[in-house]
Amino acid sequence: MRKLTLTLSAAALALGGAGVALADHHGDKRGPMAADADGDGIITLAEATAHGAERFARMDANSDGVIDQEDRALRRAMRFEEADTDGDGELTAAEMTAAREARHAQRSERRSERQAARMARLDTDNSGGVSEAEFEAGIQARGEMREGRRGGNHGGKAMRMLRRADTNGDEAVSREEFDAAIQARFARVDTDGSGSISAEERSAAREARQQARSDRRAERRANRSN
């Protein structure tokens, strides 16, 4: 089990992000709604599959159609080569500092983008500013989201999903297995079988998850008291 976790942890990240049907993430484009290519608030199976394909391609570093430990090793080698700017096969202190500063700059840019997205979400009336009511609503929404994350055990969930996706048990996830996992998750939320997931279906799925977590917590409390 430990070997499986180490081998497929990168694939867990990709597959977890590609499970576009299961959450709204409050409408931002970093999470599941990134699959909403036409921005109409509805995720079709074609959009979900296309978004998953993009994520799979990024994780499949050697382009062999499988996400496994070789991809992890190749990505590490690529990061080393990028940092080794003089190509001598060794990293000097200056090169390591430059690589670290480049990562910090990228993170700063991503933080700025996320801040802009948060501002847009809070400013629900598009006034260019955030009122006290909008601010309070945002705090409440973030609290609910954090509670859901604490209760959801996302890391374990991703690995459970991976084990289900690895249907042939070879400790790797092929593109076919990856797509099948996305389609299965999509079908569970697409309750009317229309081939698209509406805001109402996403909301219903989110409420079902919250209820399931609540039930599990109640069950654990009952077990501890016995």
Q: What is the pLDDT of residue 31?
A: 54
Q: What is the pLDDT of residue 7?
A: 44
Give the side-chain half-sphere CA count within 13 A for 181: 28
Higher pLDDT, 174 or 129: 174
pLDDT range class, residue 87, cuts 50, 70, 90: confident
- Confidence check: pLDDT of 190 > 90: yes
pLDDT range class, residue 23, cuts 50, 70, 90: very low
Q: What is the pLDDT of residue 193?
A: 92
pLDDT tens string 127-173: 888 787 877 787 777 766 555 555 445 545 556 666 788 888 887 88
Mean pLDDT of 103-123: 84
Query: Lowest-confidence range among 50-54, 69-73, 202-206?
Result: 69-73
Report the distance separating Cα 65 and Cα 57, nearest Å: 8
Number of domains in the chain: 1
Best mean pLDDT range from 44-48, 116-120, 127-131, 152-156: 44-48
Q: What is the pLDDT of residue 162?
A: 66
> Mean pLDDT across the chain, nearest whole number?
77
The first and second tokens of residue 115, run together, are 């801040």
The first and second tokens of residue 176, run together, are 């076919």
- Confidence check: pLDDT of 8 > 70: no
Domain that holds residue 13: 2-225
Q: Cα separations (Å) of 22 from 43, 55, 143, 186, 192?
A: 11, 17, 19, 8, 15
